[in-house]
Amino acid sequence: MKEIKGPTEAEVRAREFIRDRHPRVRQILFRRAHRKGDVWLVDGEVWFKRAYFFTARRSFRLQMSSKTGKLTSYEEARER
Q: What is the pLDDT of residues 4-34, one digit of tens each?
A: 999 999 999 999 999 999 888 999 999 999 9
pLDDT at 80: 65
Decide if 41 contacts 63 (C-beta within 8 A): yes
Model confidence, pTM: 0.86
Angle at 29 between CA 57 and CA 77, to 5 degrees: 40
Tell me how crowded residue 75 is: count the other CB atoms within 10 A of its CB.
10
Domain annotation for the chain: domains and CATH numbers: 7-78 (3.10.450.630)
Strands (E), the chain: 25-36, 39-49, 55-65, 71-78
Decide if 40 contacts 3 (C-beta within 8 A): no
